[in-house]
Amino acid sequence: MRLLGFLVVNGLVSAHAQAAQADPGADLIVHNAEIFTGNPAQPAASALAVKNGRIYAVGTDAEVLDLRSAGTRVVDSRGRRLIPGIIDAHTHILNEGGYTYTLRWDGVPTLRRALEMLSEQARRTPEGHWVKVIGGWSPYQFEENRFPTMEELRRAVPDRPLLVQYAYNRGFMNPQAMEALGVGTDRFPQLPGTELEQDAQGRYTGVVHGFTFMFIVLETMVPQLSFDEEVSSMVQTVHSLNRFGVTSIVDAGTGFRGYPKAQATVDVLARDNRLNIRMPFVDIQFGDGSTNMVDDQLTAITKTAPISPGHNLHPHLAHGHVYRGAGELLSAEVHDHENFDRPAVVIAPEKMRELVERDVSRLVQRRIPFRLHISYDENITPFLDALEKLDAQVPLDGLRWSIEHAETISPANIARVKALGGGIALDAKMALHADGFIKTYGREKALLTPRLRELVDSGIPLAMTTDAFRASSFNPWVGIGWMVSGRSVSGSEALAEDNRLTRAEALGLFTRRAAWFLNAESEMGMIAPGYLADFVLLDRDYFSVPESQIKSISSVLTVMDGRVVYGAQDYRALSPELPEILPAWSPIKHFGGYHQVR
C-alpha cells in the first residue's frame, strides 16, 4: 500500500508539473512590423515572440505566428516601426517627488501658450500652494525665442506664489514667492554663485541666477507632497517616460534624500509589481553638509540598510531597482555644475586629487562602482591624473565607473578614460541649451560639443542620456533629433556636419550601448532571443521621417518585461489603467507631462 501511495502521489505531482507546462505557446506575439533589432546578426525582422518576460523568437511573420496558442495575445503592428526599449542611463526620477505639483513646459512651442498655461493653473491652484515650472524647458524652444518677462509672469499668476526655474541656471519669482522665500533677508539661501537681480532703484526684480545647489534648496522651501501624492507622482513620472518608449533608466541620485529614504515610493509600486520601468540607481548622500559624502554613502549601505552593488530591491523584476554604486556627486567641492550661461566652473586640481586619494580610493577598495559629474575638460584632466595614480596602486581592474556629462572632453582624455576601463554618459542638454552655450563660448566650440563622432568611433562604453527632469527634458527624442540633424530646439546649427551621427548610431546610444551602464549588455538593448522583452512601436518611422520630425516621435505601444505599460491610438485599450492623479488640482492631470496638441 505504501508503494501504491508513493506512485499515486508522484503521479499526481508529475501530472501537475505537466499541466503547468501544458501551454508552450508564446505569451505575446507582435507581427507585421518593421523591426530594427539592433542585433548585427539579424538586423531586421517583422515579428517577435515573448515568453515569461523574454524574447524567444525573432523572424518572419510566418515563423513567429506558428508559435501562437489559444492563450497568446497577438498584436498587429500595421507596418509600424518597432525598436528596442529606450534606456536612459542618467536621469533623476527619484528627484521628482513633486512631479504632480509641477506645470511642465517641456515641448510647449510658444511662450504665449506657456503663459496661458500658467494663468489656467493659477486659477486652479488652491490657496496655500504654489504655481511652479521646474526645469525641462528652454526659451529657445519657443517661437518667440526669449525668456518671459517678470511683468508677463506677474500678470499670469497674480495671487499665488510663482516659481519658474530654467534648468539650474536661473529662477523667476513673483512678489508672493519673494516674500515667502525671504528675498532680501537672511532667510533666502545665499549659496556661492547666487545673484539676485535688482532694478535701477535697487529693488529686487524676482530673477535669481545661480547654480545647482541653490535651486535644490529652494525646492525644500515650498509646500511638500503627502506620501500618497508622492506615490502618485512616481506613477505619473514613469507613465510620461513610457509614452516616449523609455523602458529602463538609471536614477542618478536625488536631492537631500538618499538611500534608503528615497526608495520608499518605489517600494510601494514594486511590492505590487506596478513599477512600469526598470530603475537601477546610484546614490547621493548629501547629509547636513558637515560630513563626508562618501562616509555617508558607506554608512547608508553597511549600517543603515545594508546592501551591496548588484542587489535588486525589486522582488519580481529583473534589473528592477538595483543598487549600482555611488555618485554622480561624491563631494560638493568638486561639482562643476553645467550652467552654459556662465563661464566654466574650474575646480582646483588639488581638490580633484584629494577626492580621488581620500574618497574614490575607498570605493575602489570595496569594489563599489562610482560615477562622477564632470562637465568640463579642464576638470576631467586633473581627475584622470589622480585616478591613473590610484589605479597603479589599487587597480580598478574591471570595476565599472564613468564620467557623467563630459560635454567638453578632449580626444586625449577620451583615450585615457577608455584605458582605465571607464565609460562616458553624455547628455543631450545641448539640444535645449546650445544657443546659450554659443553666447558664452562661441559657435565654433559649440559645433564640437560634445565630440560625438570621436566618442562613438573610439569604442568606449558610451551612452546618451537626458539628465532630466530639471536640467533638460525627459523626452529622449529631442536629443536623438539633435544628434542626427545637428540642430538645437531653436533650429540653429549646434553640431558640425562631421560631428553628427547616423540614425542607427544615435538610437544605439539610447539602447544597445546604454545597456553597459546597467551591467546588462547581455540581455538589454537589442531585439534578440534571450533578451528581456522591452520594445516600442513608434507613431512614425524613425528611419524615414524628416530629421525635423524626430523630436516629435512618441510611442503607440510600449512593452516592458513582456507586458504592455503604455498604449495609444490603435492600442489605447491595451494600456494599463492608472490610479487617479493626486492632487485633484495637479497640473499633470490637466496638461499632461509633456506638451500635447489639443
Beta carbons of 110 and 66 less than 8 angstroms apart: no
Beta carbons of 27 and 73 less than 8 angstroms apart: yes
Residue type at 569 in one-letter notation: Q
The β-bridge relationship of strands 535-538 and 462-465 is: unpaired
Mean pLDDT (whole number) for 580-598:
92
Looking at residue 418, its pLDDT comes to: 98
Quick check: 569 pLDDT over 60? yes
Backbone dihedral region of 53: left (phi > 0), alpha (psi from -120 to 50 degrees) or beta? left
Looking at residue 22, its pLDDT comes to: 55
d(CA 419, CA 422): 8
pLDDT tens digit sequence for 345-368: 999 999 999 999 999 999 999 999
Looking at residue 379, its pLDDT comes to: 98
| Percent of the residues in the chain that have a pLDDT greater than 70, as a whole number | 96
H or E element at residue 29: strand 28-31
pLDDT tens digit sequence for 454-501: 999 999 999 999 999 999 999 999 999 999 999 999 999 999 999 999
Strand order in the sheet with 462-465: 86-91, 246-251, 281-283, 323-326, 370-374, 401-405, 423-427, 462-465
Looking at residue 287, its pLDDT comes to: 77
Residue 4 pLDDT grade (very low, low, confident, very high; cuts 50, 70, 90) = very low
Backbone angles phi, psi at 49, to 5 degrees: -125, 145
Mean pLDDT (whole number) for 334-346:
95
Q: Compute, in degrees rounded to 10, the torsion defined by CA atoms 253, 255, 259, 261.
A: -140
Residue 29 β-bridge partners: 49, 74
The β-bridge relationship of strands 462-465 and 423-427 is: parallel
Beta carbons of 125 and 95 less than 8 angstroms apart: no
Beta carbons of 213 and 190 less than 8 angstroms apart: no
Q: Rounded to two decimals, what is the model's pTM?
A: 0.95
Quick check: 105 pLDDT over 90? yes
Beta carbons of 84 and 511 less than 8 angstroms apart: yes
d(CA 195, CA 3): 87
Beta carbons of 383 and 412 less than 8 angstroms apart: no
Mean pLDDT (whole number) for 163-187:
97
pLDDT tens digit sequence for 222-266: 999 999 999 999 999 999 999 999 999 999 998 778 999 999 999
Quick check: 528 pLDDT over 70? yes
Mean pLDDT (whole number) for 297-304:
96
Beta carbons of 213 and 191 less than 8 angstroms apart: yes
d(CA 557, CA 569): 9
Looking at residue 8, its pLDDT comes to: 42
Quick check: 218 pLDDT over 70? yes
Looking at residue 596, its pLDDT comes to: 84
Strand ranges inside 52-103, DSSP E = 54-59, 73-76, 81-84, 86-91
Beta carbons of 484 and 539 less than 8 angstroms apart: no
Looking at residue 365, its pLDDT comes to: 98
Whether the CA torsion 227, 229, 230, 234 is positive or negative: it is: positive
Quick check: 7 pLDDT over 70? no
pLDDT tens digit sequence for 365-411: 999 999 999 999 999 999 999 999 999 999 999 999 999 999 999 99
Which spans in 442-519 are helix H?
443-446, 452-458, 476-485, 503-508
What Rg, from alpha-carbon coordinates, does the chain have?
25
Quick check: 12 pLDDT over 70? no
Looking at residue 123, its pLDDT comes to: 98
d(CA 290, CA 569): 53
d(CA 306, CA 323): 11
Mean pLDDT (whole number) for 154-170:
97
Looking at residue 14, its pLDDT comes to: 46
Residue 21 pLDDT grade (very low, low, confident, very high; cuts 50, 70, 90) = low
Looking at residue 267, its pLDDT comes to: 97
Determine how many CB atoms are found less than 10 A away from the CB of residue 592.
17
Looking at residue 598, its pLDDT comes to: 57
Looking at residue 278, its pLDDT comes to: 98
Average pLDDT over the chain, rounded to an integer: 95
Quick check: 545 pLDDT over 80? yes
pLDDT tens digit sequence for 47-78: 999 999 999 999 999 999 999 999 999 999 99
Looking at residue 291, its pLDDT comes to: 79
The grid cell for 573 is 485599450
